[in-house]
């Protein structure tokens, strides 16, 4: 039995040391925090059960991490210790009972505590001599850290909420040692990863590793480009009178100009600590930084001194850890889910794990580029993250834990829901189903078909479309035209504001059915846009409608014919022709024609004042709607653009016009008001 325990102890120590080096030195975690904590707890239990196997260099006796080889070493005057973890109210009560016992206090005697959010960053020490920053270092192994003074001087230089002070405010002691956390706030972490993605570089797994990697750059100028923050939580002033409490120390830090956490809380007794801990369990998700727990410290500094410290942890403080938001698990399967817009999203099925208080068996990757960048394969061990009620996402794969049996996922060529062709459009990051009657995307397709810029079916919004699909009343666009009035009227719709359901009723039914009748003879441009053909946006639909004139001519166009259309390139021509050739789509169009849809032939633009010119509309118009003004410009051969450039010929400035009008003036582009625009229209008849 002892031999088995000894082997397991050595195995655990080796895994923890490897994880420490990956996390603290390489900034590339190979274990989740929860997995690491489980291994450490198992090792502690084994060493307690077999004290003869405990050693001084065990990870349970030493501060995690080590100073890297790239920087000069700095010895800390006093050790920078780690904190012991607790995960339940029972363990918090045990900590409080231990404090009472060691201080020889009767049970129930009040002990003051300070609770601070446990920050997910890199612990550092700043040394100030006569108020001037003289030295800055990382925690390292607790006794010796890395000299990163030049890098620390840049923290906050990009306007982050808090920075490292070059000098202290007010009166300062001869020597002051400040300890705190360098961290990246959530928005800055996401912005950094976006930049890395555009550059083709590997993403950081979490804000802590991003902060550590940013601070431990050999060139301080690189660190200066990273939006790091610094939050102070400890101060030491050798040779000076001691503060009475830790809270007084935090107040002194603020007086010197340091940022201290506004979420810090003084609590009288462990019951109040637990109440604040429960309140922070939900509040933490709205904080601008990541936190996975609370640090609970005895407030009275004389009591702290009497409690002392073990080899690794102070006896006067403990970290309460919330249920993990990150966990490692294994990918069992990857498959493509078809969304309401036809986008195929890779869904990762994983070995179920407890995460954020819930059992998680699925996580998401947003698109193929993200899946390839994170190099996620079937069989991989992956780190997944869940914050609050957000769907878990895969943070990263851990290639170091592969055994060679892993397989890459390949997107299907045919939609798993309807069998239509799947395409990845030029310039897009996603694969999309091309089926016009795909059941997975019917609500989105109906909403698009009915929107004002397409067939303009007033009253047919998302809630109505969802009710139609949920009750099986429609399979494609044509079914909208044959649905009996009684079915419309009796259909129950979920009200967005109240959450209750109401019958559609007679007035709304009449409005929708009248709009559907009008849509039968809407222009060809509206129908082509409403059908959701790949690569065919509103502008391309106008160009196609003008070129071909009728639906029949459009459906019969070859790729060569399509290439003859202005602004239609080879990729667009290929996608349009493939959409027409898809049997499912052709059936949808045929059924629309059978239902009486006869789009009006598109009138070719006549020459006029706007012929060959680019016009920008900005601000509100009184006499015409934006769509009406756009139609009038296009009828006269013009093109409406959404932005102003040197190629813009005219800007129509309505009420409350903004930056577009200002830019037009800077570029010298001609500007007319609404009255001038109307005169141009009247002059052309």
d(CA 33, CA 35): 6
d(CA 420, CA 462): 24
Burial tier of 604 (Cβ tally within 10 Å: 0-12, 13-18, 19+): exposed
Please identify which of the residues 118, 274, 321, 630 carries the catalytic annotation: 118
Could you tell me how many residues make up the chain?
Answer: 685
Measure Cα distances from 4 to 44, 45, 46, 51 in Å: 16, 14, 11, 15
* Three-class secondary structure assignment of 258-320: CCCCCCCEEEECHHHHHHHHHHHHHHHHHCCCCEEEEEEEECEHHHHHHHCECCCCECCEEEE
Compute φ and ψ for 351, nearest 5 degrees: -60, 125
Cβ neighbours, 10 Å, residue 160:
18
Residues 595 and 481 sit within 8 Å (Cβ to Cβ)? yes
Token output for 223? 């660190």
* 9 vs 375: CA distance, rounded Å: 33
- Is 623 a known active-site residue? no
**DSSP secondary structure, 201-227, as one string:** PPPPSSHHHHHHHHHT-SSHHHHTTS-
User: What DSSP string describes 231-267?
Assistant: EEEEEE-TTSPPPSBHHHHHHHHHHHT----TT-EEE
Binning the chain into helix, strand and coil, the percentages to the nearest 5 are 40, 20, 40
Phi and psi angles of residue 319, each rounded to the nearest 5 degrees, phi first: -105, 120
Residue 352 is encoded by which pair of tokens?
């179920």
Residues 6+ apart with CB under 8 A from 33: 292, 321, 324, 326
Structure tokens at 100: 């009472």
Question: How far, rounded to the nearest angstrom, does the alpha carbon of residue 48 sit from its chain's CA centroid?
Answer: 42
Active-site amino acid positions: 118
């Amino acid at each position: 039995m002892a031999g088995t325990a000894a082997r397991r102890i050595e195995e655990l120590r080796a895994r923890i040391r490897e994880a420490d080096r990956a996390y603290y030195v390489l900034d590339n975690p190979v274990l989740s925090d929860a997995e690491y904590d489980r291994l450490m707890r198992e090792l502690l239990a084994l060493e307690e059960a077999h004290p003869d196997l405990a050693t001084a260099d065990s990870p349970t006796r030493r501060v995690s991490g080590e100073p890297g080889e790239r920087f000069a070493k700095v010895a800390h005057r006093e050790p920078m210790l780690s904190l012991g973890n607790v995960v339940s109210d029972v363990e918090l009560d045990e900590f409080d009972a231990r404090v009472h016992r060691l201080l020889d206090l009767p049970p129930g005697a009040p002990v003051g505590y300070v609770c601070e959010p446990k920050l997910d960053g890199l612990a550092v020490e700043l040394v100030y001599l006569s108020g001037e920053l003289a030295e800055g270092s990382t925690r390292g192994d607790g006794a010796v850290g890395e000299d990163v003074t030049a890098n620390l001087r840049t923290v906050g230089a990009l306007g982050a909420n808090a920075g490292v002070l070059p000098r202290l405010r007010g009166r300062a002691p001869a020597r002051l040692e400040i300890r705190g956390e360098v961290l990246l706030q959530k928005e800055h972490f996401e912005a950094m990863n976006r930049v890395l993605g555009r550059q083709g570089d590997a993403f950081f797994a979490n804000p802590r590793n991003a902060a550590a990697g940013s601070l431990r750059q050999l060139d301080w100028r690189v660190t200066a480009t990273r939006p790091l923050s610094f939050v102070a939580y400890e101060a030491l002033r050798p040779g000076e009178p001691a503060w009475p409490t830790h809270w007084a120390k935090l107040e002194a830090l603020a007086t010197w100009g340091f940022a201290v956490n506004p979420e810090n809380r003084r609590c009288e007794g462990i019951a109040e600590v637990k109440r604040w801990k429960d309140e922070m369990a939900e509040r933490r998700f709205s904080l601008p930084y990541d936190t996975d727990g609370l640090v609970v410290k005895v407030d009275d500094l004389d009591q702290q001194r009497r409690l002392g410290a073990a080899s690794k942890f102070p006896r006067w403080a403990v970290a309460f850890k919330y249920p993990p938001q990150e966990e490692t698990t294994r990918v069992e399967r990857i498959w493509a889910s078809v969304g309401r817009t036809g986008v195929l999203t890779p869904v990762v099925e994983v070995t179920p794990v407890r995460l954020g208080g819930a059992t998680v068996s699925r996580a998401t990757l947003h698109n193929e580029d993200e899946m390839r960048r994170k190099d996620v394969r079937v069989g991989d061990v992956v780190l997944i993250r869940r914050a609050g009620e957000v769907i878990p996402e895969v943070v990263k794969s851990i290639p170091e834990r592969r055994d060679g049996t892993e397989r890459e996922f390949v997107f299907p060529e045919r939609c798993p829901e309807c069998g239509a062709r799947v395409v990845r459009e030029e310039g897009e990051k996603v694969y999309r189903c091309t089926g016009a009657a795909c059941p997975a995307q019917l609500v989105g397709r109906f909403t698009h078909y009915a929107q004002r810029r397409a067939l303009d079916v007033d009253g047919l919004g998302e809630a109505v479309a969802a009710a139609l699909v949920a009750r099986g009343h429609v399979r494609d666009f044509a079914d909208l035209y044959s649905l009996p009035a009684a079915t419309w009227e009796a259909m129950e719709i979920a009200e967005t504001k109240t959450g209750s359901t109401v019958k559609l009723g007679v007035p709304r039914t009449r409005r929708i059915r009248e709009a559907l009748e009008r849509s039968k003879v809407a222009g060809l441009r509206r129908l082509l846009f409403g059908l959701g053909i790949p690569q065919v946006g509103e502008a391309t639909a106008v160009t196609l409608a003008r070129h071909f004139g009728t639906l029949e001519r459009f459906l019969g166009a070859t790729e060569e014919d399509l290439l003859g259309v202005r602004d239609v390139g080879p990729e667009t021509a290929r996608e349009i022709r493939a959409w027409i050739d898809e049997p499912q789509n052709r059936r949808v169009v045929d059924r629309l024609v059978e239902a009486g849809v006869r789009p009006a032939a598109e009138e070719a633009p006549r020459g006029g004042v706007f012929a060959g010119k680019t016009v920008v509309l900005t601000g509100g118009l009184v006499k015409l709607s934006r769509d009406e003004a756009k139609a009038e410009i296009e009828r006269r051969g013009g093109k409406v653009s959404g932005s102003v450039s040197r190629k813009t010929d005219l800007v129509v400035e309505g009420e409350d016009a903004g930056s577009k009008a200002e830019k037009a003036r800077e570029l010298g582009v001609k500007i007319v008001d609404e009255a001038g625009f109307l005169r141009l229209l009247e002059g052309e008849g």
